[in-house]
Amino acid sequence: MLKFLNQISSFYSKTLLLSLVCVGGVFVLLADPSDALKKKKEINQGRVKVMKTEEEWKAQLTTEEFRILRKAGTERPHGKIYQEFKEHGAGVYFCAGCDTELFSSKEKFDSHCGWPSFFDPSKVNHVKTSVDHLLGYPRTEVLCAVCDGHLGHVFTGEGFDTPTDKRYCINGTVLRFRPTTPIDGNLTGEQK
């Protein structure tokens, strides 16, 4: 199969200036061969873009995680997840969909809104934003840059006493917390 795909790629590259590359198990035909390397390395800090079918996401995630991450849902405010979030000590928050680092306890603050709040991501290039109009007015949606999972929304200018005056209002259900060890600051279970 691979030999066949290489032959097709070679033929199209020579005759039509097209390139065939494999991205996340999916073959993509590109018009400009110079784009092949760029597309193949669609990476965020060493993380390859995660693309799965709806069925694959449903198999991996809980029903609630799927509803929030893949369908832009929102968990109820002030729930059990929020209470647990408030009790977390030092640590890092990862995406439930692809295990990408998103936020840390260093950027966490209590906005009393009922959802986990951060004033900035811990890895800025691991989150992205887009404007949504789901409620009839524009809001800035926060997404995981690696798996495109919906995380929540970011609000600015609310007057919180934080370095950025931003509130990343994030659904706690789609975050995985890993505490840091008090001795060396490494993540629990992380290899050195």
Question: What's the pLDDT band for 48 if we cut at 50, 70, 90?
Answer: confident
Question: What's the pLDDT band for 136 if we cut at 50, 70, 90?
Answer: confident
What letter would DSSP give residue 155? E
Question: Would you state the CATH architecture of domain 54-179?
Answer: Beta Complex (2.170)
Q: How far apart are CA 9 and CA 21, in angstroms?
A: 8
Angle CA 10–15–16, to nearest 5: 100
pLDDT in tens, 52-107: 999 999 999 999 999 999 999 999 999 999 999 999 999 999 999 999 999 999 99
Instruction: State the chain's mean pLDDT as an integer.
Output: 79
What's residue 60's pLDDT?
Answer: 97
- Domain segments of the chain: what residues? 2-41, 54-179
User: Which residue from 139, 137, 105 is spatially nearest to 119, judged by alpha carbons?
Assistant: 105
Give CB contacts under 8 A, 24+ apart, made by 78-82. 78/114, 79/114, 79/172, 81/172, 81/173, 82/114, 82/115, 82/116, 82/172
CB 12 within 8 A of CB 3: no
Average pLDDT over residues 28-40: 39
Q: How far apart are CA 184 and CA 166, in angstroms?
A: 30
CB 188 within 8 A of CB 178: yes
Against a cut of 0.75, is the pTM above it? no
What percent of the chain shows pLDDT beyond 90?
65
Active site residue 98: no
Average pLDDT over residues 179-186: 71
What Å distances lie between residue 29 and 26, 40, 182, CA to CA? 10, 11, 49
